[in-house]
Amino acid sequence: MISNAIPDLITASACARGLSALGVTALSVRALGLDAESLDLESPEALAALIRRAASFATPCSPRELRGIVLQSLRGLSEVGQDSQEALHAPIDQMIEALTSYGDLIELPVAESDDGVAARTLYLAPPTYVCVDDVLFLLGGVLDGGEPVPSNLRDAVAYRSHSRRIHGGNTSENAKQLHALGWVELRYDLWLPAPSQETPEQLVASANAALAANTTAGEVPGLTVLDPKSPTTYYRGRWADPVRKTGRFVARREQRYGADLWSYVELVSGAVSHLVDFPLTKKTVMMRPCDEAWHLQLAIDALAGQRQQYRRRPGPPSGVILVDFFSPVPFWARRRWDVLGERIASHGSLFAYRFPANVFADVERTLQGDLWLAERLAL
Amino acid sequence: MNEPQSTNGDDGHPTLVTSLARLQGWQTRLDDHFARLAMIRREADWPVFALEHGLSVDDRNSLLRDVRECADSGPQHDVPLPWVVYAAEVGYEYSGYEYWQTFETKTPGWQLQWRERIRSNFVSFATTYHGAEPAGNWARQFSIIAWPIAHGILPRDLQRQLAELLYEGSTSFSAETFSSAEALGLHLQARSSGYSSRFRNFAENATLLGQIALALLLQDTADAHGGSGGAILHTNTLERIVADLNRERDARQWLAEARSAAHSATRFHIRGLSRITLRRRLADTTPRRDRSQEGSDSFDAVPKPHFLLREEVQDRWQVRLQFPNLAHLAAQSPRSRDILMRRQGKIAGATTPILATSRIVLDAAPTVTLSTWPKPQTQLLAFDGAPPELNALLSASFRVAPGDRWLFAIGLDGKAREITTRVLRAGASYLLLQTTHFGNPPAGLGLSVVYVACAGVYALRIDVPKQVSDVLTDVLSNLELVVAQTIEVWPAGLPVSVWNGEGQLEGVTGQPIILGIGTDHRLTRLEVVIDDIPQPDIETGEMPPGGPIFLQLPLLSLGPHDISIAASTGEAGQESIDGKLGGQGATPGLRGKLSCIIREPRTIAAGQGGALSFAILPTSPSLEDVWEGRIEIHVAAPGIESIRGRVVLRGLEGQELFNRSISLPSPCNTDTWNDRFAEVRKAASSKYDDAQVCAFEFDAGALGRRQITAERDFTPLRWAVRDNGRRVILIDSQGCVDLNVSQILCATPLVEEQIDPSDALNGIVVPDGGALIVARSGRLGASTVVVPPQRVTSLDALSGARAEVLKPSRNSSAILALARKTALWERARLAGSWLAEARRGTVVGALISALIGTIAGERWMDAEELLRDEPPAAQELMHKRVAIRPDERAIAGILARRIESSLGGSVAQADQVFLDAIVPFVHEVHLDAIAPYALRLASSPSEARALVDKVTKGSNYDEHEKELIDDLLLHPVIIRAARYFIVATRALVSRQGREYDSMPWAG
């Protein structure tokens, strides 16, 4: 008979046996190194681990390919995807984005082999740890689903949404143990780069200067722009057709293969007069075009007097503050929040974080000082 | 029991008994101990090691002291065991550098001629006490020291490497790995290629390796659980090794992880060890379908390319060809490596018909776009000059499948992958490619002709509906396709390595595989057969129709597996879809087949960790390989311009001698590496001779980091440099009895002066001007060019005094002798100061000039004389003097025009360019053999010899080479043309910063 019991990985090895969906979920969650009693495969922790594992086989690959592999693994197991697997696209894509921001996955430009078309490609970061105070943040993984964490430290790993960390114990000793198994240390300041010190005026001015140097005439196929006049609380709704628009816009444009490119364009009655693709600067290899574009949009909105917004909510539990975000932010801000808090399921927002109340002042400094966000009062 | 007395007088010297008598006491005690141990071990066939003497630390020290005190009378016949234990103890402490030197240092009064007695004592020990016998090539080569080192079980300097290997191997431990010590040893041995040459020697004896590994991984737990104790290794000995190993953090961590994995793989319990044998049982040696013991090589040796279709825009598809990575082949075959790293591939049908140099080794899956569909059976990838093993692979596996139709399943990622069946599934989408037009398909059936951007094929898209009509079934039948009403299978829960969407799955050892099974029928029972072994039936209960059920496979061993799944629907007489199985009619219902391949997990060593792309060949270079530029290297990380490198030299005791960081561009290839490393080599030259290990680190920050360790080669005869290059010592690890040692000064590179071998063993002073020092014994040899450090104030001083070389007689014997001497200089190792390379260059240049001048004739010698000081003038003069006869005058001009075209091609192409240029002018039947020989003789006599070796396969090569030289003496224009070709090529390469791809020896 098909068993609902949580199977034991080893005793199950003698012969083939049937499993229920519950049994598969439990076995998979356990094989991912997580607690099968409290998590299912669609929980953020398990989904993140599933994506990391898929990446250990498939990378380098595109985000779409990675999503396809995870979708296949969840087929027949998902509550959400029971009727249509398309319902799973958004949570998987958001988790891939979270893992990329965090540093588990690295998104890099790679020129396609023979046709010269630039594509963005995902890599699984090598096993890496970052020491922040007395906490070790773990990034990346090894090929082919291997378990790189030393066996005696596995129980000490805390999984919070997409992040993994070891706190408590002897941090220095733990770091040495990781190092012995091939983990590399990434310096704190490289993982958590300081935010740009530019004002919105400076950021927009330098982008405009780069744009002015790149005259373009004619039609740009598949162009959509972020409309600064649209409400900042519904990100997807801000993307608009360029028809009859005039001004400078953060934009995306289709390319024959791979994901759309991020661009900064100047339009005159819907016609493109200038165009430059992100990245405009080579600040860091980790800076993705989207990070730079989102940062610029934050500055554009701030200058237009229409700052992007966040919404603060009290817990439960008490002593924590929940924050909703309505637009994407650069990776360095999300990493900072991964350290200070943890990502939680969002409701009526693009993504959300939970922070201990005692660190919120620090979070707010980034929100308002570095990202020029304004607080939206809860309804 | 007769315990040896250890009573010492106040002055610390024995007073009650003589040292000899004490040795007799040790003999008695050890005999008793080893006899008991042998009795226990014989039963299970585990061998006994001399290091398993069971003595406490104090007793051990007493025994060592007693042996030393008797050392000046040599090993006595009546007390062999103390000497055996003593030699094994030296073997345990042995650092791999100088066994006998270590032995002599620890044993005052020891004499060289007693080495053989040590060996015979060990042979007797093996016979009497069921002792271990060294095996493998290394043991044959080092026939004496192999004994004490093998009986030292795990020399301390190898402990760290074994711990690392155990950790690396633990990622693919399975129950089969622990079926015997030999199986475990083979499992580890197959993964030892990236370790030092000395460790690889140690790992040659798989049974010994497995026995030690087994003890380290499992024995102490068995003992702790009340096992018999010391079943594989004596408890004290094992504890001693583990304690030493645990002194280092990394090794301790590796061993802990490997132990954890071993326990998981074996479900180890108290009686676990008793079931593990030393050697594999006969029935286990060729298990059906179980290739886990064959190592990964044979399995990985059949990679194949795959076609992929990608939708450019809607209904317009592009054909791409994805090649497998051939790094594995490059690592196994040096000849293939040279081709794969240095040659472009030619691709049949590609838009850009060239696969860039080294992509097939460096890219995980190099992919190209095809503009033309290759004809069936066409070889898809070819390399000029490919060796037979590479050609065999490309010819057998890199071909288009026969036929005129190819079916592709469109996956969730939007790409279409080729499938080998002709079976479609309801609800899925496909592309069918064929070599002829499709015509207009009937409307409303989910069929549409789409454009494929590849000449020679046409495509039909098939979107199979959930419910398949009879009309569609007929249409598909005309295309030789059927829609399966069979069960649908996919990997569920956990991703697998590869799933092609249609029954081909690749998994990784030790990882669970779960299959989802979907059908639109109500299933009552599943029958699963894996590799012809029926699994227990699975009652599916009351699963709703269409709802998937899931199947967990047992942990499968390495290699291919066939899985058949038959689903009973409870509806009698339902037709089976799979024709082959359906004919058997055993179970009414639905059947499906799955091809499953289990491979080993990739490791970071494969160069595929993170975004840092890294390859080094050979995969485990020696220090000498690195220092003398005999490695190929590639390191790159996307999106960054530079990679931080670090080079660290360490001495025998691990002490740091040199540490330098270097900045490398990304990507960095071999030539760039050589340029950057030259500076490091120069800066480190004073430390090199004392270095035992060179460690490299390549750091691309968050994108990845790689470390490589290169150790000194371990050879029976070796020169060790002392006093910063002022003195050299001959290291004779074999105890050669017919040693011949000589010295040849750089200033007189043909004058060989004999040296007393015992002087060489004690160390000889290197002459100021530098010398080639040579030691020979039978087929063994060691030669090194050494130049003591000195102040260099001019370019002339750099290259040293002009070498005095007398031209030989103009006959083939004398010329061949000169060629052999030149080759000796060319192949010698470099030591002492960095000047050695420059001085050797001067000597080799002078010798080749004399060699060529002798064959080419008097007038040519003027050009050779000019070459050292005025190369452009020499080249011009050579151009004029290639021809003597009027009908030869065009040769130089033709060669000059063709040099550039020869540079980018293969070795074979360069040979052909030269041959084509001289063919019209030289009427000689064997020109196709003489021309390539001349080309090599004119630049590197050792390469010329290698060519002759290859042709003659090692028999009568002297005679064959003499014939070639005779031919050159008869037609000297050939050697003049060859020499001019080489000199002009060097000038062009130097001017343009090009590579010597076509003539790698000429650089």
Does residue A356 have a cis peptide bond before it, meaning omega lies within 30 degrees of 0?
A: no
| Sequence-ordered strand ranges (E) for B492-558 | 498-499, 504-508, 514-518, 525-530, 533-534, 538-539, 549-552
State how far residue B288 is from chain A, nearest Cα, in angstroms. 17
Please state the rounded mean pLDDT for residues B888-914: 83
Q: According to the model, what pLDDT value does residue B853 have?
A: 93
**Neighbouring-strand partners of residue A159:** A164
For chain A, the residue count is 379
Query: Which residues fall within 8 angstroms of residue B593, CB to CB, at 6 or more apart?
Result: B503, B562, B563, B564, B565, B578, B581
Please state the rounded mean pLDDT for residues B32-42: 91
Buried b or exposed e, range B101-112, using 16+ CB within 10 angstroms: ebbbebbeebee
Map residue B433 onto helix, strand or coil. strand
Which among B497, B526, B535 is the nearest to A15, CB-wise? B535
Q: According to the model, what pLDDT value does residue B493 have?
A: 93
Residue the block writes with tokens 């106040």: B10
Q: According to the model, what pLDDT value does residue B606 have?
A: 42
Q: Is the pLDDT of residue A121 over 70?
A: yes
User: Distance of CA B186 to CAs B138, B191, B207, B291, Å?
Assistant: 17, 9, 8, 12
Range of lowest pLDDT (A17-26, A90-99, B986-995): B986-995
For the CA atoms of B158, B163, B169, B174, what is the dihedral angle to 10 degrees? 120
* Record: contact A73-B492, CB cut-off 8 A: yes
**Confidence band for B517, pLDDT divided at 50, 70 and 90:** confident
Which among A1, A62, A106 is the nearest to B703, CB-wise? A106
What's the rounded Cα separation, in Å, for the pair B467 and B423?
15
What's the rounded Cα separation, in Å, for the pair B996 and B985?
9
Are the CB atoms for B361 and B632 separated by under 8 Å?
Answer: no
Range of lowest pLDDT (A80-89, B24-33, B868-877): A80-89
For the stretch B634-690, pLDDT in tens is: 888 877 788 999 999 988 777 899 999 999 998 888 888 988 998 898 888 878 877
Are the CB atoms for B595 and B504 separated by under 8 Å?
Answer: yes
Are the CB atoms for B626 and B645 separated by under 8 Å?
Answer: no
Query: Three-class SS string for B583-618?
Result: CCCCCCCEEEEEEEEEECCCCHHHCCCCCCEEEEEC
Any alpha helices (H) in B770-906, and if so which ranges? Answer: 795-799, 812-827, 835-856, 858-867, 871-881, 890-903
Instruction: Choose from A247-251, B96-100, B267-271, B508-512 the range with maximum mean pLDDT.
Output: A247-251
For the stretch A38-90, pLDDT in tens is: 899 989 999 999 999 999 998 888 888 899 999 999 998 887 655 667 788 98
**Tally of CB atoms within 10 A around B782:** 20
| Sequence-ordered strand ranges (E) for B756-810 | 764-765, 771-777, 780-787
Structure-block tokens of residue B219: 């024995």
Task: Report the first-to-last Cα separation within chain A, whole angstroms.
Answer: 53
Range of lowest pLDDT (A193-202, A367-376, B612-621, B695-704): B612-621
Please state the rounded mean pLDDT for residues B252-269: 79
DSSP designation for B292: G
Q: Which residue has the higher pLDDT, A286 or B800?
A: B800
Q: Is the pLDDT of residue B300 over 70?
A: no
Q: Which residue has the higher pLDDT, A98 or B723?
A: A98
Which amino acid makes up residue B541? G
Q: Is the pLDDT of residue B59 over 70?
A: yes
DSSP designation for B356: P
Residue the block writes with tokens 């800076």: A287
Tell me, what's the ipTM? 0.86
Are the CB atoms for B18 and B39 separated by under 8 Å?
Answer: no
Q: A205 CB near a chain B CB, below 8 Å? A: no
Are the CB atoms for B845 and B868 separated by under 8 Å?
Answer: yes
User: Distance of CA A267 to CAs A220, B138, B196, Å?
Assistant: 11, 75, 63
Structure-block tokens of residue A84: 């249509």
What is the CA angle B500-B505-B508, rounded to 5? 130
**Confidence band for B967, pLDDT divided at 50, 70 and 90:** very high
What's the rounded Cα separation, in Å, for the pair B684 and B674?
15
Closest CA to B848 of B939, B926, B928: B939
Q: A186 CB near a chain B CB, below 8 Å? A: yes
Q: Is the pLDDT of residue A139 over 60?
A: yes
Q: Is the pLDDT of residue B913 over 80?
A: yes
Q: According to the model, what pLDDT value does residue B576 have?
A: 36
What's the rounded Cα separation, in Å, for the pair B186 and B177?
9
What is the CA angle A166-A169-A170, rounded to 5? 105
Q: Is the pLDDT of residue B577 over 90?
A: no
**Confidence band for B428, pLDDT divided at 50, 70 and 90:** confident
For the stretch B113-152, pLDDT in tens is: 788 889 999 999 999 999 999 887 778 778 888 899 899 9
Which among A13, A16, A31 is the nearest to B494, CB-wise? A31
Q: According to the model, what pLDDT value does residue B8 have?
A: 45
What is the CA angle B665-B670-B674, rounded to 5? 85
Phi, psi dihedrals of residue A252, rounded to the nearest 5°: -125, 145
**Confidence band for B298, pLDDT divided at 50, 70 and 90:** very low
What's the rounded Cα separation, in Å, for the pair B706 and B793?
39
Residue the block writes with tokens 């200067």: A209
Q: Is the pLDDT of residue B604 over 60?
A: no
Q: According to the model, what pLDDT value does residue B285 have?
A: 39
**Tally of CB atoms within 10 A around A111:** 12
Residue the block writes with tokens 């000039």: B849
Q: Is the pLDDT of residue B620 over 90?
A: no
Range of lowest pLDDT (A34-43, B606-615, B873-882, B985-994): B606-615
* Record: contact A151-B490, CB cut-off 8 A: no
Burial class (CB in 10 A: 0-12, 13-18, 19+), B300: middle
Dihedral sign computed on CA atoms, order B334, B335, B336, B340:
positive
Please state the rounded mean pLDDT for residues A185-208: 87
Q: According to the model, what pLDDT value does residue B96 have?
A: 64
For chain B, the residue count is 1003
Q: Is the pLDDT of residue B337 over 70?
A: yes
DSSP B197-241: HHHHHHHT-HHHHHHHHHIIIIIHHHHHTT--S-SSS-HHHHHHH
Buried b or exposed e, range B581-594, using 16+ CB within 10 angstroms: bbeeeebbbbbbbb
* Record: contact B493-A25, CB cut-off 8 A: yes
**Neighbouring-strand partners of residue A139:** A128
Percent of chain B exceeding pLDDT 70 equals: 85
Query: Which residues fall within 8 angstroms of residue B12, CB to CB, at 6 or more apart?
Result: none
Q: Which residues of B touch A16 (CB under 8 A)?
A: 528, 530, 535-536, 538, 551-554
Helices (H) and strands (E) in chain A, counts: 10, 18
Structure-block tokens of residue B434: 């064929």
Are the CB atoms for B785 and B772 separated by under 8 Å?
Answer: yes
Q: Which residues of A touch B704 (CB under 8 A)?
A: 125-126, 184
Are the CB atoms for A119 and A258 separated by under 8 Å?
Answer: yes
Structure-block tokens of residue B463: 């979107």
For the stretch B177-223, pLDDT in tens is: 888 888 899 989 888 877 887 888 888 888 889 999 998 998 866 65
**Confidence band for A313, pLDDT divided at 50, 70 and 90:** confident
User: Distance of CA B270 to CAs B225, B275, B907, Å?
Assistant: 6, 11, 62
Nearest CA in chain A to B351: A114
- Whether pTM > 0.90 for this model: the answer is no
Closest CA to A358 of A323, A316, A320: A320
Q: A71 CB near a chain B CB, below 8 Å? A: yes
Nearest CA in chain B to A130: B702
Q: A110 CB near a chain B CB, below 8 Å? A: yes
Q: A255 CB near a chain B CB, below 8 Å? A: no
Q: Is the pLDDT of residue B268 over 50?
A: no
Q: A148 CB near a chain B CB, below 8 Å? A: no
Closest CA to B344 of B909, B908, B937, B905: B905
Q: Which residue has the higher pLDDT, B91 or B641?
A: B91
Buried b or exposed e, range A240-260, using 16+ CB within 10 angstroms: eebeebeebbbbbbeeeebbe
**Neighbouring-strand partners of residue B484:** B425
Which A residues 36-65 touch B at CB under 8 Å?
41, 50, 53-54, 57-58, 60, 62, 64-65
Q: According to the model, what pLDDT value does residue B301 have?
A: 39
User: Distance of CA B211 to CAs B145, B205, B225, B274, B358, Å?
Assistant: 20, 10, 20, 13, 40
Phi, psi dihedrals of residue B222, rounded to the nearest 5°: -60, -45
Query: Three-class SS string for B70-128?
Result: CHHHCCCCCCHHHHHHHHHHHHHHCCCCCHHHHHHHHCCCCCHHHHHHHHHHHHHHHHH
Q: According to the model, what pLDDT value does residue B412 have?
A: 72
State how far residue B734 is from chain A, nearest Cα, in angstroms. 37
What is the CA angle B784-B790-B793, rounded to 5? 125
What's the rounded Cα separation, in Å, for the pair B662 and B680?
8
Q: Which residue has the higher pLDDT, A108 or B434?
A: B434
Q: According to the model, what pLDDT value does residue B788 have?
A: 87
Phi, psi dihedrals of residue B160, rounded to the nearest 5°: -60, -45
Q: Which residue has the higher pLDDT, B122 or B96?
A: B122
Please state the rounded mean pLDDT for residues B278-290: 47
Q: Is the pLDDT of residue B514 over 60?
A: yes
